[in-house]
Amino acid sequence: MVHPVVSVGWRFLVAAAILFAWCALRGLRLRYSLRDHLYLALQGALLFSLNHIVLYIAVGYVPSGLAAVAFSTIVLFNTGFGALLLGTKVQPRLVLAGLIGLAGLALVFAREGSAISMPRAAAR
């Protein structure tokens, strides 16, 4: 079995190679300032790496359905943090869609969530 971090790394390495090839085929410019590179690296680490690593690790402790429900909240968090940190406008239909999707996943996996048993020390 491969460690979750290695799995996420390979997944995004392949995705990056495909994107670089696509950009090369289309002749897209990939030169950015150092500041832009740092911002893109931070965004990549937070939005496309750390959250996947945490999800893969979580699946070892909770049912995968429950992890999927928790992971689906990313739409709502991205919307909220985008408004808070970047000043982007919150679109009500995006929030509604995120809530509907979250409610649907919660209904689908409600029985799995009730099967979680917590160690006595963690419950305190």
Residue 98 confidence (pLDDT): 82
Using 50, 70 and 90 to split pLDDT, how confident is the model at 120? low
Burial classification of residue 12, based on how many CB atoms lie within 10 Å of its CB (0-12 exposed, 13-18 middle, 19 or more buried): middle
Residue 19 confidence (pLDDT): 93
Ordered by start, the domain boundaries in the chain are 31-114
CA gap 119, 62 in Å, rounded: 12
Q: What is the pLDDT of residues 54-104, one digit of tens each?
A: 887 888 888 877 777 777 778 888 888 888 888 889 888 888 888 888 788
Dihedral angle sign, alpha carbons of residues 98, 103, 107, 111: positive
CA gap 77, 104 in Å, rounded: 18
Residue 30 confidence (pLDDT): 87
pLDDT at 18 over 90: yes
Secondary structure tally for the chain: helices H, strands E: 8, 0
Give the mean pLDDT of 33-39.
92
* Residue at token pair 């392949």: 14
Residue 27 confidence (pLDDT): 94
Q: Both ends of the chain: CA-CA distance in Å? A: 33
Q: Which two tokens stand for residue 105?
A: 């996943």
